Structure 1
Amino acid sequence: MTSIAFIGLGIMGLPMAKNLVQAGHDVIGFNRSRPAVDRFVEAGGRGADSVAQAVAEADLVFTMVPDSPDVEAVVSGEDGVFANARDGAVWVDFSTIRPDVSVRLAEAANAAGLRALDAPVSGGEAGAIEGALSIMIGGDEDVVEQVRPVLEAVGKTIVRVGPAGSGQTVKAANQLIVAGTIQLVAESLVFLEAYGVDTTAAIEVLAGGLAGNRILDRKAASMVKHEFEPGFRIDLHHKDLGIVTSAAREAGVVIPLGALTAQIMGAARQKGYGSLDHSALLLLVEELSGRGSDA
């Protein structure tokens, strides 16, 4: 049994923390809003009233919060992770943030006596619930191997991709691919419906061929039904594509389709779809095609 602090019990964090409890670990959770902590306690975890309380006795500290400023707020200051975690504890950040911020915070963690890994995840809410996330990790290999048995409770594909910040770079590429694929699936569905095709049958045959992909498998059926309960919100994917376009520009890499997809995601957000699942890009395609109505 490992003593774990889990900071951030949102759509992704709560099921991840629950899976750690089910794997037999002692997990104490903290979230800015208390109802999420209460739900975690009901699932067998322990609740904390502050970050400092959560991390005080933990061997592993996991953070899963929305953006770079949120991570910085959680780890910094008198009540933060760095000031209150045990010397030698491992801090694993599951959040998706800017690679440069991740590198800087890893250096600050080391200076505070902690060992740091950036370990963003992919798989959405379904993957979090199933304990089947893909985890891309930046940091020292020996630390990765030390925590791997614990990570196996939340992920199935666990790969070290390089030094600090590398996990965030790979996650940026992941978000680029996912956003572009959702947009193409959305366009395809509107195209199929315009011609009166049986979309359920079309999805089945497309998924079995070279066009097959996880978006078709996991999202297409709910897109056809216009069910956009958020597994991953447009607001967050908009943020992630900002990371991608900024990092690409800094590296001198041209991503024309990625930049266009970022603009489309931003347009969907401006239309008021930000709180919906990122598959709600379908609504914007319908509207531009004159085939739908505002959400």
Structure 2
Amino acid sequence: MSSIAFIGLGVMGSPMAVHLAYAGHDVTGYNLTPDKYGPLEAAGGSPAGSIAEAVAGAEIVCVMVPDSPDVRDVLAGEGGVFANAKPGALIIDFSSIRPDVTIELAGTAAERGFRLLDAPVSGGEAGAKNAALSIMVGGSEADFAAAAEVFDHVGKTVVHVGPSGAGQTVKAANQLIVASNIQALAEAVVFVESYGVDTEAALEVLGGGLAGSAVLEQKRRNMLDRNFAPGFRIDLHHKDLGIVTAAARESGAVVPLGSLLAQLMASARANGDGGLDHSALLRGVERLSGLSDT
């Protein structure tokens, strides 16, 4: 079993760290807010008072934080991983960030004697809790193989997709597809309701045909109950669609639907829905349809 530091114990990071602790690894966690340590401690892990304390002696460092600046601060900032981890440590960044930032940080990591994998995940809070995440990994094949002892305990579908930055590129594509599905489902719900159809029955039969999807299965209850407690916040999906549109512009790819989705997600945030689950795109469709005052 390995000594693992886990930086970022939020909605996704906490259950992932817990799985690693229950698997027998020596897990030390660090989070900016200290009220997140309970589940990890209950699983046998330990809290740390700083990143430096968490990574001291760790063979593997896992990172799960919201955005590119956060990853840069955790890894390259004063008191961060690069300044305090032992040489040769394997760093696995589970965050979803810009591919170009990942490539830059991977180069810096190599210069400092570290190994860095970009390993963004898909599956949301449910996937993290059930150790059923889909993990798309960029970096060297050797480092990917070395990370198997971590991936095996947090993911279900784990694929090496290419060199550094490739994981983040595939994750951006994932977020484009997920947002498209959520928006289409939201529009379908409002459409069938406008005709007085039994929406629950409609979604049941739609889920059994070609229209069925993981999004329909996982998000139908949110929309039926109008319960948008965050599993994956609109704020974060807004960030991800910004990555999609910026990266597409740089590569010359044309993503007209992605651009529209980015605007719809931005509208949701502007209307105060940023802290809600991304299934709350339904509220945007209702606003456009004149069905909501909020």
Shorter-normalised TM-score: what interval?
A: over 0.9
What amino acid is the match of 1:137? V
Match of 2:25 in 1: 25
Which range moved further: 252-261 or 35-44?
A: 35-44
Match of 1:6 in 2: 6
What amino acid is the match of 1:128? A
Give 3-state SS (helix, strand or coil) of 2:20's partner. Answer: helix
Give 3-state SS (helix, strand or coil) of 2:227's partner. Answer: coil
Q: 4+ residue stretches of structure 1 with deviation over 6 A?
A: none
Alignment check: 8 A CA contact 2:18 2:39 kept: no
Alignment check: 8 A CA contact 2:186 2:285 kept: yes
Match of 1:234 in 2: 234
Q: Deviations over 1:120-157 (max 9, x none)?
A: 00000000000000000000001101111321100000
Match of 2:96 in 1: 96
**Count of residues in correspondence between the two structures:** 294
Q: How do 1:142-221 residues align onto structure 2 when only pairs under 5 Å count?
A: 142-221=142-221
| TM superposition score normalised by structure 1 | 0.98
Q: Deviations over 1:8-35 (max 9, x none)?
A: 0001000111111111111000000010
Distance 1:283 1:228 in 2: 10
Identical amino acids, percent of aligned pairs: 61
Give the unaligned 5+ runs of structure 1. Answer: none
Give 3-state SS (helix, strand or coil) of 2:40's partner. Answer: helix
1:105 aligns with 2:109: no
**RMSD of equivalent CA atoms:** 0.9
1:54 aligns with 2:54: yes
Match of 1:75 in 2: 75
Structure 1 residue 203, shift from structure 2 partner: 0.8
Distance 2:209 2:38 in 1: 45
Match of 1:135 in 2: 135
Distance 1:160 1:209 in 2: 31
Match of 1:291 in 2: 291
Give 3-state SS (helix, strand or coil) of 1:153's partner. Answer: helix
Distance 2:145 2:42 in 1: 31
Give 3-state SS (helix, strand or coil) of 1:273's partner. Answer: coil
Alignment check: 8 A CA contact 2:26 2:45 kept: yes
Structure 1 residue 39, shift from structure 2 partner: 4.1
Give the unaligned 5+ runs of structure 2. Answer: none
Match of 1:266 in 2: 266
Q: Deviations over 1:103-131 (max 9, x none)?
A: 00001111111111000000000000000
Give 3-state SS (helix, strand or coil) of 1:219's partner. Answer: helix
Structure 1 residue 287, shift from structure 2 partner: 1.2
Structure 1 residue 37, shift from structure 2 partner: 2.4
Distance 1:74 1:37 in 2: 18
| TM superposition score normalised by structure 2 | 0.98
Alignment check: 8 A CA contact 2:21 2:40 kept: no
